[in-house]
Chain A
Amino acid sequence: MSERIPILRIGENLVVSVQFDLEDQTVLNLQEDLADQIVAHSARGVVIDISALEIVDSFVGRMLATVASISRVLDARTVVVGMRPAVAITLVELGLSLGGVSTALDLEKGLAKLRASSDAAQR
């Protein structure tokens, strides 16, 4: 049984904080858990904090894009926050530009982004 990453609920948003380097199975579990939680809490937004991640491979990069697509289908917006410069450079060199995924510098700015978009949707 591999580790599972906790998913926290704040209001109508879900927060996932990745604290250690990811293995493939953990990534798949996270994908599954997130989809379940979004439906269970009818969440409107997901924030994935990867500020502790030092190494990202193409698998994790693709996972971020997949999670974003899954949550879009379930009508929730995904924001990836806290990506380190080295990780960003690696992803660019790998040719993964994560099109369709919103990003923010830190958790606070990420939540603000979600709030702004849900405000805009309600108007």
Chain B
Amino acid sequence: MSEQADAVDLVDLLSVEGEDLAAAWVREVSGSLGRRVSAAELERELRELYEALVEALRQDAVDVHSEQMSEVRALLTELSRSRARKGFSPTETAISVFALKRVLEPVLRKGSSESVHAYLQLSRLLDELGLFTIETYTQTRDALITAQAEQLLELSTPVVRLWDGVIAVPLVGTLDSARTQVVMEKLLQALVDTGSEQAIIDITGVPAVDTQVAQHLLKTIVAARLMGAECTVSGISPQIAQTIVALGIEFEGIATKASLADALKLALRRSGVDLVAHRDGLR
């Protein structure tokens, strides 16, 4: 049996009951997806895919990566991308393709041994298409994650001016090398831009400090000192204080404070500002 004959068989198998099969496919998939995709949208997606697949098979497509399949691939890519963006699981995405196999089973029961052969062929093709779908899904997810990580990096490091000549960086979340690098650069640039001689690094929002994080902090502080600014580390929680001592990290010559308020007070005193409290409140 030549390959061309195979392809024709596949077309026969798919178009034997024409419209009926596509409709069954849509029913099968919408059952598994619930109501998160509108019925009309699903119907449109799967019908387009079905038609493209039949057309490709009519043109003797035997391999997913062949040229005749380009239309099918484009549709599948679009489908799995939209699924990935909407937060569907890989299974829910792949089921769209694999459901077609299940739809074909009843047809097969009535068929001859030749249609069994054709079914196996088609099944192999559908497996490949399923794999292709998953691959696209993963790529889209990866791209999403990368984009989000970048956004997080930009968002997570504001430098705020607390007073004339005093700036602060409130750090929130886990510190890694990439983030510390961004923090370091932003802090140092802010020192130049604002002409501040006092900087406060507040680590209230940092859940854990290990030797690497401490190393990064120390580097930032030394770099700030090289530029002529003093750094204070504040917001050290009791647990973190214990960890720091247990790890044997030494913040020698670096002012550390428990709270941001204390650090601000120290920074103001260092820059020659006196805070005066009036006994009778507002005056």
Contact = CB atoms under 8 A, between A and B. Distances in A.
Interface of A: 80-81, 83-85, 87-89, 91-93, 97-98, 102-106, 109-110
11 contacts: A84-B192, A85-B185, A85-B189, A85-B227, A91-B223, A91-B226, A97-B222, A97-B225, A97-B226, A103-B226, A105-B228
A92 B223 contact: yes
B60 interface: no
A91 B225 CA distance: 11
A118 to B, nearest CB: 18
Contact of B188 (A80, A88, A104): A88
B184 interface: yes
Q: How large is the interface on B (under 10, 10 to 19, 20 to 34, 35 or more residues)?
A: 10 to 19
Given A84-B192, A85-B188, A109-B197, A103 B228 contact: yes
A110 B189 contact: no
A85 B223 contact: yes
Nearest to B253: A99
Contacts of B223: 85, 88-89, 91-92
A83 B228 contact: yes
Contacts of A83: 226-228
Interface of A, helix, strand, loop or mixed by DSSP: mixed
A106 B226 CA distance: 12
B195 A89 contact: no
Nearest to B187: A85
A89 B228 contact: no
Nearest to B223: A88
Contacts of B192: 84-85, 105
B69 interface: no
Nearest to A96: B226
Contact of A88 (B195, B196, B197, B224): B224
